[in-house]
């Protein structure tokens, strides 16, 4: 029997019959099969009318994005690969199979890092949240991408192709594999062996957690295909989210979703509808917190911060804090807990 090292020493050659039309046909068939499985064996029973709206919006975004990318002449990564396939870092390897494996694995790592960046930076999140605001996760959600995010993603892929010197057939295979897995892990299905398969690749239950409304839950499971990167970098979580989507009100129709992507996440609280004395409310809430622990000394600052957080949320709701501010608040909170633990 051939061992792994022998396999990678063979004279591997890509099949020459692969074409863009053939790949598109395979993806269409795969989409049809997964859509049917969603209908017959759904993980969650989604209401029919909102689900139809989700499909309509997501397919509209897909058509719009495809048209814009074609007009801008940036969607043809295949043509770019034709021009730069004979140069790049991959050509330091003589074995074509090693080239193929590394091109896919490194592309998957690039997409992991890009996806994580879209969650960490507000200027990127404002586009990426268009993908997250679908409250009815289904296979069509895979196409719910803002055109600016898609444009930047394609620019990154183009730079990657030039840097690595990936040939056109390899690009087609990689793009097809990524698209298949992205559709797969958005599908509203569950199956036996799903958790076992999740040790290798991102499966629906892992990506469903990524679409949680809660930030500390959706900032996880960034992988496109391999779950390796989330395990390696400590961003893997396994749980069933209570709700899907993003907090607050957001549009669900095509036109307003495009506009929604250009609106910066709010970083300052809006004025409350009624005049209120926030300081008095915070002071009272902090007093009751202190009273519940019999006024034990050393927690005054923590009581005030927690009371302020509760009152601000009560008065202004969840729309007042950007992702960057939320992360900073969480770090400050855990830091204060640690300091108080040292003082005990």
Q: What is the pLDDT of residue 317?
A: 55
CA distance readout (Å), 329 to 122, 168, 170, 179, 332: 15, 47, 44, 36, 5
CB under 8 Å to 315, separation ≥6 — which residues? 272, 276, 278, 281
Q: What is the pLDDT of residue 20?
A: 61
The parts of the chain modelled with pLDDT lower than 70 are: 1-20, 71-82, 84-85, 265-278, 293, 296, 311, 313-344
Handedness of CA 127, 130, 133, 136 (dihedral sign): negative
Would you say the pTM of this structure is higher than 0.75? no
Q: What is the pLDDT of residue 338?
A: 39
Q: What is the pLDDT of residue 2?
A: 45
Helix (H, G, I), strand (E, B) or coil at 169: helix
How many other β-carbons are positioned within 10 Å of the β-carbon of residue 197?
16
At which residue do the structure tokens 């990167």 appear?
229
Four-point Cα dihedral 100, 101, 104, 109, nearest 10:
-140
At which residue do the structure tokens 């939320």 appear?
326
CA distance readout (Å), 255 to 142, 148, 226, 319: 18, 14, 33, 22
Nearest in space to 118 (alpha carbons), one of 209, 219, 214:
219
At which residue do the structure tokens 């990506």 appear?
207
Q: Which residues pair with 226 in a beta bridge?
A: 201
The span from the CA of 104 to the CA of 190, in Å, is: 26
Nearest in space to 51 (alpha carbons), one of 174, 156, 137:
137
Nearest in space to 187 (alpha carbons), one of 216, 211, 222:
211
Q: What is the pLDDT of residue 117?
A: 97
């Amino acid at each position: 029997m051939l061992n792994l090292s022998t396999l990678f020493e063979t004279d591997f050659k890509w099949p020459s019959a692969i074409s863009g039309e053939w790949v598109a046909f395979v993806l269409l068939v795969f989409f049809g099969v997964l859509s049917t499985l969603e209908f017959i064996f759904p993980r969650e029973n989604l209401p029919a009318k909102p689900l139809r709206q989700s499909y309509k919006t997501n397919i509209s975004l897909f058509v719009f994005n495809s048209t814009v990318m074609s007009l801008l002449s940036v969607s043809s990564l295949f043509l770019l690969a034709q021009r730069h396939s004979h140069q790049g870092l991959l050509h330091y390897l003589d074995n074509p199979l090693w080239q193929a494996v590394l091109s896919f694995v490194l592309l998957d790592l690039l997409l992991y890092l890009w996806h994580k960046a879209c969650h960490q930076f507000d200027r990127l999140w404002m586009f990426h949240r268009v993908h997250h605001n679908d409250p009815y996760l289904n296979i069509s959600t895979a196409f719910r991408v803002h055109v600016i995010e898609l444009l930047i993603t394609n620019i990154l892929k183009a730079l990657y192709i030039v840097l690595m010197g990936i040939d056109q057939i390899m690009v087609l295979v990689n793009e097809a594999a990524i698209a298949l897995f992205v559709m797969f892990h958005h599908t509203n299905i569950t199956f036996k062996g799903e958790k076992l398969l999740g040790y290798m690749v991102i499966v629906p239950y892992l990506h469903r957690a990524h679409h949680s409304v809660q930030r500390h839950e959706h900032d996880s499971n960034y992988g496109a295909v391999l779950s390796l990167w989330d395990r390696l970098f400590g961003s893997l979580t396994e749980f069933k989210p209570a709700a899907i989507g993003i907090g607050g009100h957001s549009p669900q129709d095509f036109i307003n979703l495009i506009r929604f992507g250009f609106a910066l996440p709010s970083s300052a609280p809006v004025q409350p509808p009624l005049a209120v004395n926030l300081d008095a409310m915070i002071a009272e809430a902090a007093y009751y917190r202190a009273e519940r622990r019999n006024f034990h000394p050393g927690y005054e600052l923590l009581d005030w911060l927690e009371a302020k957080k509760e009152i601000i949320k009560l008065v202004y709701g969840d729309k007042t804090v950007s992702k960057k501010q939320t992360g900073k608040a969480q770090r400050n909170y855990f830091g204060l807990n640690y300091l108080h633990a040292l003082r005990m």
